[in-house]
Amino acid sequence: MPSSQLSSLCELIENQKTDHFAKFYMYVSLLNTLTVKNKTFVAGLPQYTGFFGTTTDLDIGGPLPIQFTKQLTFYAREFNNTQPHWSKTLQNVVMTYVRKGKISDLAHIIDMMLYHLAAIQGRQSSNHGIYSGISFADKKEDLTQFIEKISAFNHQLLSTADSGFNTALSAFAVVTGFVLVLASIASVVPLIIGLPLLLGGGYALYHYSTKAIGQIDELGNQIKLIQDSVKAIARENSLFEGSDYNQMVFLATAVKPLPYALAAAGEQIVIDESQQKQVTKYRHELDLEFARLRI
């Protein structure tokens, strides 16, 4: 389940009287606002450009209520982790474990994108002119595959956060057990409680630490796959091959915030400045790759 802030934003999006095509791009713009951070929500919605340079906005079912803008402004600020610290990382890991944190929220937004993308079938009730004008159906499968790669990484990251939390919890059990064993001089009750905690916590610590190491290795593989995919898009233009200007705009809008979601997720779990520099470097690499596409 997403955080209360995201739940409220999603509810406002879902209440808009429009089609799945528009709602897909509303979630795209929401993700862009939180991860790329270069546009407002409204500015992040793509426009269709006509023959004489006139533009057509997506029909999102009327203006969004004012509370949407207010809530999104405050919510987006929570993703700015300019001063990393282990206490912030611990808090973010715990919130991710209970599926109320920023990392799990990013995964939820991408899942909602996939949901509405899959639901786009046939004639669109509000935006069929744009939908057919950019031949969106021809690129839908390739776009879905790219989004699924990012979604897989985010869910892998959630699993790693779970392992990290379980490791910390097991370490707490070991310490608690050790203290209670020391206290057993005064009473046999702490000894009865402490020994199982010490033994059980020690086993769990080994089990979950091993699992976490495996998850981290898998994360490294997932990151490389996604970085390679992004570079392949910039170099080979496989997704954009044969696209005219309008199709390029709509596809690029959908693609760009996805790899930046990895950077945004990484920013939530960095512990020190050295790790923050690594994430910043990744952001810079993304900027260079997407600059080739003039996005």
pLDDT tens for the chain, 295 residues long, are 788 999 999 999 999 999 999 999 999 999 999 999 989 999 999 999 988 889 999 999 999 999 999 999 999 998 887 776 666 665 666 555 545 578 889 989 999 999 999 999 999 999 999 999 999 999 999 899 888 877 777 676 666 655 655 555 444 444 333 444 444 444 444 444 444 444 454 545 455 555 555 554 555 555 556 656 655 655 655 778 788 999 999 999 999 998 888 888 777 777 777 777 878 888 888 888 777 766 6
Task: Specify the pLDDT at position 190.
Answer: 44
Task: Specify the pLDDT at position 236.
Answer: 55
* Domains held by the chain: number: 1
260 found inside a domain: yes
Question: What domain range includes position 50?
Answer: 4-142+220-291
Task: Specify the pLDDT at position 99.
Answer: 52
199 found inside a domain: no
148 found inside a domain: no
pTM score, whole prediction: 0.78
213 found inside a domain: no
130 found inside a domain: yes
160 found inside a domain: no
256 found inside a domain: yes
For the chain, the three-class secondary structure string (H helix, E strand, C coil) is: CCCHHHHHHHHHHHCCCCCHHHHHHHHHHHHHHHHCCCCCCCCCCCEEECCCCCEEECCCCCCCCHHHHHHHHHHHHCCCCCCCCHHHHHHHHHHHHCCCCHHHHHHHHHHHHHHHHHHCCCCCCCCHHHHHHCCHHHHHHHHHHHHHHHHHHHHHHHHHHHHHHHHHHHHHHHHHHHHHHHHHHCCHHHHHHHHHHHHHHHHHHHHHHHHHHHHHHHHHHHHHHHHHHHHHHHHHCCCCCCCCHHHHHHHHHHHCHHHHHHHHHHHCCCCCHHHHHHHHHHHHHHHHHHHCCCC
Task: Specify the pLDDT at position 235.
Answer: 60
Task: Specify the pLDDT at position 18.
Answer: 98
What type of residue is 196? P
Dmax (CA) of the chain: 88
Half-sphere exposure of 79 toward its Cβ, with a 13 Å CA cutoff? 27
Identify the sign of the CA torsion 100, 220, 269, 266. Answer: negative
275 found inside a domain: yes
Give the whole-angstrom CA distance, residue 204 versus residue 211. 10
